[in-house]
Amino acid sequence: MKNLKKKLSGKRSRLAVSEVMGAVLMMGVTLAVGFTVWAWASNAAVASEKSFGNSVNSNSNCLTISYEGVDANFSSSASSSVTVWYFNSGQSEVTIRNVIISNSTWTYTYTAPTSTILYVQGIKPITISIGTNFAKDAIYTFKSTGENSTTVGSGKSAVQYSCGLVSSTYQQVTPDTTPI
């Protein structure tokens, strides 16, 4: 042990890794961290691109949906009833999921039955009865959500694309039937 100390004491005063070995170790650590970050970023980019692709696919299917509320007829005999007429000018069938009716003071949501399908180039009336009377000269907004069902593969499964709100505004001009 004394001989070892004697040999080492002449060359350096303390024991440590040489400068060359230190540089090699630092390069190795830098490369390892660099490859780890590159692998993580690559996987994150692939996941982001898949998510973006799915979003574009869903939105492109919504482009084939083109329907609108073309008329609203308030009933003169039943003052709490309205018939909304929808026209589908798109290239695929649309299922109306719900209709939101509102004016400046209240909002009512009507959930349509699953059979409420607007066929391609078709017109469909939906009669809605709410619990309160529609006021004369009030302005009502009708917003509806539609859904496109596309068959995939050999008809064993269906993919549904829910697309945004379609909005239309009508004024109640039918005389109010409630007694004064």
Q: What does the pLDDT look like over 130-154, one tens digit per residue?
A: 888 887 778 888 888 777 654 443 4
Is residue 74 within 8 Å of 172, Cβ to Cβ? yes
**Model confidence at 74: pLDDT above 60:** yes
Mean pLDDT lowest for which of 40-44, 91-95, 96-100, 164-168?
164-168
The reported pLDDT for the residue numbered 36 is: 93
Pick the CATH number of 67-171 from 3.30.70, 2.60.40, 2.30.30, 1.10.3470: 2.60.40
Element (H, E) at 157: strand 157-171
Q: What is the pTM of this model?
A: 0.55
DSSP H stretches of helix in the chain: 2-11, 19-62
> What CA–CA distance (Å, rounded) separates 92 from 114?
16
The whole-chain average pLDDT of the chain stands at 75
The reported pLDDT for the residue numbered 106 is: 84
Residue 17 per-residue DSSP state: -
Is residue 74 within 8 Å of 127, Cβ to Cβ? no
Among candidates 66, 65, 69, 77, which has minimal Cα distance to 140?
A: 69
For 142, other C-beta atoms within 10 Å of its C-beta total 21
Q: Which tokens hold the place of 73?
A: 């007829």
Q: Which tokens hold the place of 116?
A: 């409420």
Q: What does the pLDDT look like over 10-50, one tens digit per residue?
A: 555 556 678 888 889 999 999 999 999 999 988 888 888 88
> What CA–CA distance (Å, rounded) separates 129 from 74?
10
Domain spans, the chain: 18-62, 67-171
CA distances from 103 to 56, 82, 113, 116, 170 (A): 34, 14, 24, 24, 10
